[in-house]
Amino acid sequence: MASRGGMQPGFLNASRAGGPGSRGPARPQPTSALGRFWQNEVLAPEKRPGNLVILYSAGFFAAGVTLFRTLGKDIFVPVI
């Protein structure tokens, strides 16, 4: 079993912002629930890859909806 000093940061043992081993200064914690959610879930650097996947997926979906609303009648409805 690996000693605690040699463990790699992972999902369950990642350091929190402002703590030992963090990459930047501690973020101020807002008082409202929405502000805490925004800071802890949207702006947190450790959650950036997942948030970017969601952003790209939403953008791709919106582009598809726009494409089919613009060109869909020519693609799906046959001209008789």
Q: What is the pLDDT of residues 2-49, one digit of tens each?
A: 555 665 666 565 555 555 555 666 666 678 999 989 989 999 999 999
Structure tokens at 34: 């929405």
Q: What does each C-alpha distance from 28 to 21, 57, 79, 80 come to in angstroms?
A: 18, 30, 60, 64
d(CA 15, CA 9): 7
- Grade residue 72 by pLDDT with cuts at 50, 70 and 90: confident
- The CB density around residue 1, as the number of other CB atoms within 10 Å, is 3
pTM comes to 0.52
